[in-house]
Structure 1
């Protein structure tokens, strides 16, 4: 198990360094437009050149990359070129909102998907067909379109929930709950629709396995077979889907945060990218990669614990 963990940590470290270097290279080769974007279209070439020298944009790539890594390993990601706020503080103020939104959406998605998938796999018949059709329809609709429908119905027409976020520093639980209800529901509908069919297939494979027929021949109750044996055997597939859903929602939450005006990492990333704020962009990239790596590492460890064969792969 120790070697399994070490292999996963080593591969995660390689991915982290590779992606950060690639992102920094993209920013470096677009550095000719960064100073222009910061100063505006009316800036003279001399002003642009001075700004590039001030920000160190005229230095060679390897020197700039080494300087960024030297600060990053010490937890110093620099300051925003636009606001002057330390990158660590800017991200720290937005990260909790995004993590709460994505984590709750993923957990509720997996709970709903497991219930519907098990229901469809066991009952079959018309119920199974209805769930399959609903899953296909939900998958065809993007999360932002579902969000627009939810805003129109529950916020504009019924007035039950706010159309935009009311979360601010120090806001209470009621503000968080009312502001995140519709975004979580939009992600939940979209995520569950794309997950149900895959979980259904995994559960059906277990129900058709020889050990299930053996358990039934021994007179063991179907509920015990489903909840104790089948779902446990299908757990590795569910965990893999859990990791994929988290990564997918972490990327797709950008649009949801824009739609509901949520002050999260997604809106910060859009703002930093549009203003060519390189230190902030790199900080967001690094934090996002770290979160994705941690989630995938936890999923791999849990799969390795459930399935010893996975440790050797």
Structure 2
């Protein structure tokens, strides 16, 4: 197990390095630069040259990246040339919002989706067809339209939940939960449909195996067969889907944070991209990559727990 973790961490370190380099190169190749954003529409070439020199924008791209990387390896993500704020502090203040959305949405999606999928596989018939219908509807609904409908119904017509904003958990746990209901529901509904269908298919395949017939012939209870044996064998594709969902939510949070006016990393990344704020972009990309690394490592450990053969190098 330790060798598996060490190998994954080594690969992850290389991945973080390559992603940060690629992001820096793409941002440098994009039209415009930070100096033009700061100076505005009307500026003299001399003013642009002086500001670009002060910001080291006139140096080769790889030299700029090496300078940023040296700071990052010391734990310093620099400061924003646009706002002047410390990038690390800005990310630390917004990270709980994005992580709350990702963790809560993944949890709700997995729990409800797996429950519906198991119920559909065990009961079949009308329930199975209902799950298929809900899956199709949930996957087809546009996220923007769904967010607006939820706000209109549950924040305007019946003011149960806030339409915008975010409450920190440390300030008010109940307010934190209420502020996440509508954003999480917007992100979770399509995912629940996918989880339900994936779980049902995996469960049907597991329930058709010979070991299930043997367990039933030996008098094992239905609950034991379904929950302890069939669900465990069907869990690997579901765990894979959990990882893919968590990673996919990194892009989904950009949309949700904009609609519900939540101060998360998605909005910060979008704003920094339009302003060519390279230190902020680099910091957000590194954090997002670390989240992906953590999710993939958790999925690998879950594989090793469910299937010991995965532990073999």
Task: Give me the TM-score of the superposition, normalised by structure 1.
Answer: 0.95
Partner of 1:108: 108
Whole-angstrom distance in 2 between the partners of 1:48 and 1:85: 22
Residues 117 and 168 of structure 1, relative CA distance in 2, 3 Å threshold: closer
Q: Deviations over 1:244-302 (max 9, x none)?
A: 11111122111001000001111111111121111001000001100110111111122
Higher mean alpha-carbon deviation, 116-125 vs 62-71, is at 62-71
**Structure 1 residue 179: Cα displacement:** 1.3
Secondary structure of 1:245 counterpart:
helix
Structure 2 residue 273 is matched with structure 1 residue 273: yes
Structure 2 residue 53 is matched with structure 1 residue 66: no
C-alpha contact (below 8 Å) 1:265/1:284 kept by paired residues: yes
C-alpha contact (below 8 Å) 2:20/2:285 kept by paired residues: yes
Partner of 1:189: 189
Whole-angstrom distance in 2 between the partners of 1:99 and 1:185: 15
Q: Deviations over 1:35-58 (max 9, x none)?
A: 212221112222221121111100
In structure 2, stretches of 5+ residues that fail to align are: none
Partner of 2:37: 37
C-alpha contact (below 8 Å) 1:165/1:180 kept by paired residues: no
Whole-angstrom distance in 2 between the partners of 1:138 and 1:168: 29
Matches within 5 A, 1:162-201: 162-167=162-167, 171-201=171-201
**Structure 1 residue 71: Cα displacement:** 0.6
C-alpha contact (below 8 Å) 1:88/1:283 kept by paired residues: yes
Partner of 2:146: 146
In structure 1, stretches of 5+ residues that fail to align are: none
Whole-angstrom distance in 2 between the partners of 1:71 and 1:31: 26
Whole-angstrom distance in 2 between the partners of 1:180 and 1:32: 36
Q: Deviations over 1:175-206 (max 9, x none)?
A: 21221111111112121112211121111111
**Structure 1 residue 32: Cα displacement:** 4.7
**Structure 1 residue 108: Cα displacement:** 1.1
RMSD: 1.6
Whole-angstrom distance in 2 between the partners of 1:168 and 1:109: 22
Whole-angstrom distance in 2 between the partners of 1:12 and 1:170: 32
Matches within 5 A, 1:87-106: 87-106=87-106
Q: Deviations over 1:45-89 (max 9, x none)?
A: 222211211111001122111111111111101001111111000
Higher mean alpha-carbon deviation, 239-248 vs 184-193, is at 184-193
C-alpha contact (below 8 Å) 1:142/1:190 kept by paired residues: no
Partner of 2:28: 28
Whole-angstrom distance in 2 between the partners of 1:105 and 1:129: 25
Whole-angstrom distance in 1 between the partners of 2:34 and 2:145: 33
C-alpha contact (below 8 Å) 2:166/2:180 kept by paired residues: no
Q: Deviations over 1:188-233 (max 9, x none)?
A: 2121112211121111111111110111111211111001111111
Residues 296 and 213 of structure 1, relative CA distance in 2, 3 Å threshold: same
Aligned residues: 313
Matches within 5 A, 1:1-313: 1-30=1-30, 32-167=32-167, 171-312=171-312
Higher mean alpha-carbon deviation, 124-133 vs 25-34, is at 25-34
Task: Give me the TM-score of the superposition, normalised by structure 2.
Answer: 0.95
**Structure 1 residue 170: Cα displacement:** 6.4
C-alpha contact (below 8 Å) 1:167/1:262 kept by paired residues: no
